Structure 1
């Protein structure tokens, strides 16, 4: 199984992307709220993993490296979320976003 999975291509999918693709269907205020919700959940996950990593000193290498990976991914997502929120805030309206949905 390990050999099979190590050779297999993979996708990075996030449940919240279902929210992102639908933002062109809601008001700017709602879009900002949804992105803020996502950002809050990312921050909470990052905080939890960081605290857990600090509290548990005897984590084996494979566990430490997975936690490091998760922290790095969450950190990147947090930065992305902040930038995306700023982009929405800078839009005068969501017309450009609505065009993405083919409306």
Structure 2
């Protein structure tokens, strides 16, 4: 189990208000939003294998990947976040 999953399980997060978003970002898009989009979910799995299938991933749905990075800096590096952002930028814009 990844450290960020354990840490996310320990954090009680209140739901964030929904808002319209035109593009995904590791700094501003909640993990749950990325997981709910099959194309974005595939990007996550490509760059952080096992993240999307971990049985505790739902506990981190209200966090961004940038938020999660502090709990798993060895797995979710700045380089990984940049690569995810580059791939997310290739996806069609969301309304």
TM-score, normalised relative to structure 1: 0.27
Q: Where is the helix percentage greater, Structure 1 or Structure 2?
A: 1
Higher-Rg member (1/2): 1
TM-score, normalised relative to structure 2: 0.29
